[in-house]
Structure 1
């Protein structure tokens, strides 16, 4: 293993690319510093650097560490640590440096397994036996136009046999960057409200109606909800929660098959195919209307009571 930061950075970039990452953020060095780090030979081009408006953070090699390379590296059996490109040929990966200027180049890696796949019907999705299979299909889903604008599919996460299932509306900017649901400001508020009722995040299953972010966080469109609903319905079927918390208008209306407003739906317990469902305001709406936090807290406590009584 080598301690040379240039080799560590090249190895890290290749490994992330092999895992399907389309972009990375290195915010502890400038574009010029990174270009200098990666410059080894004229035949080894550097990654292309794209300055995003607000890119997410990824760990990066520290450019300030300098030490002699370990000679054992030359005989390392790990092919990912070799400096040469794979036989398949190079593909581009975007490395974002906060505040840096673009520098042309490529990092070789195999084709991403997360590329849009063939269309899978709702019937095929409903026949999948485990969440891992549903997730695999969803990660390459081309079922609606959001496949062309997303950064990551936000499938869902949590205990696969959770008693409590949280259903939101759609990923936001932070979720689109990370591939995880409820990780921004609204997510932090959600975590606090859930914890207040004795539902730590690690004990619940969290997902959204839409698995891809609508541009500019606009409301989900009917065709997008229709295209994405088979994933949500299968998640509920496989997790088999004892209570569902539906956060936001589209989550509640989609699961209850109604166009009644969330203000009229909340405050009582409904049923989704025999599973108690408690609708409430979305945490993002509470950030705009802080007075609603009390109502959300009451609704989550209602879910607690339902679970304790079952």
Structure 2
């Protein structure tokens, strides 16, 4: 009878020649294998080696040993292959000199293309002196569109700077943008704006021939009354608009616009009907078109005030 040790050695030699680096013996326990190999070796009998199983590719994972053949003292990896123990390999350490990167949950992975763009830097604060030195309306407008001078910069949708003919004889000044104006970025575009257009036309003023703006360039939340600090922050823009347009008459629509420009708290009912002055420019105060929508009888008074502005122009 052939020596089992010779058969084992021949088998192992053939598996090594086939390129296998690992071998699982499913008929011998570790203790039995140790006892077999510890005996004095006998002469090698290659011809008696067991036949090679050609039905299983050499690169296929070997079958796990039967559970009853695995000793409780076997190494952890060997016992895990029999399903007795789970081995969790530790993750490899980072490369030398390469710090670990910790990414916040939900944040894009560094180096990927789906990372959001960097937030736009806030606009720089421009002083009233700098605004007053700007030579053209386009530059004043550019500064105003990114204005951070008051808290309304945090709630507005659009800055409503103003529009119209830059050499107009008539400048229309309102209080502040409303919801429609904040959405579109244009002054007097809602129902009140349509009524304003009709009132101007009735007095011979086309919207295309006048310059329209507001005391405030940003909408106060919920259309509340402008606050003193907001008026102070926005006044350099209005002043520069008046200086650059150089109108021959100013139409102040609404109590707030008239009181702000004239620096008074007199009611609009007492201010209207007269011609005042704003920095040397004739100013005619009248009711706001939005107030006329609530009080249609005031339309007649606005028309009369517009006629007064027409007389000022004709006299000049």
TM bracket, shorter-chain basis: 0.5 to 0.7
3-state SS, counterpart of residue 285 of structure 2: strand
Higher relative contact order (CA 8 A, sep 6+): 1
Asked if structure 2 preserves the Cα contact closer than 8 Å seen for 1:91 and 1:111, the reply is no
Quick one: which of 206, 212, 215 aligns to 1:206? 212
CA shift digits 1:149-181 (9 cap, x unpaired): 000000000000000000000000000000000
Quick one: which of 287, 291, 304 aligns to 1:298? 304
TM-score normalised to structure 2 length: 0.62
Following TM superposition, the consecutive aligned residue runs of length 4 or more in structure 1 with deviations greater than 6 angstroms are: 89-92
Matched, 1:256 2:256: no
Distance 1:211 1:137 in 2: 12
- Give how far 1:233 is off: 0.5
- Give how far 1:91 is off: 9.3
- Give how far 1:281 is off: 0.7
Q: Relative to structure 1, is the Cα distance of residues 182 and 268 closer, same or farther in structure 2, using a 3 angstrom cutoff?
A: same
Q: Relative to structure 1, is the Cα distance of residues 246 and 91 closer, same or farther in structure 2, using a 3 angstrom cutoff?
A: farther
Give the corresponding residue for 2:102.
none
Matched, 1:129 2:159: no
Distance 2:198 2:114 in 1: 45
3-state SS, counterpart of residue 252 of structure 2: strand
Number of corresponding residues: 204
3-state SS, counterpart of residue 257 of structure 2: helix
Q: Relative to structure 1, is the Cα distance of residues 278 and 91 closer, same or farther in structure 2, using a 3 angstrom cutoff?
A: farther
Structure 2 regions of 5+ residues with no counterpart? 1-112
TM-score normalised to structure 1 length: 0.63
Q: Relative to structure 1, is the Cα distance of residues 234 and 90 closer, same or farther in structure 2, using a 3 angstrom cutoff?
A: farther
CA shift digits 1:207-260 (9 cap, x unpaired): 000000000111111111111011000000000000000001121111111111
Give the corresponding residue for 1:279.
285
- Give how far 1:201 is off: 0.3
- Give how far 1:289 is off: 1.1
Q: Could you say which structure has the larger radius of gyration? A: 2
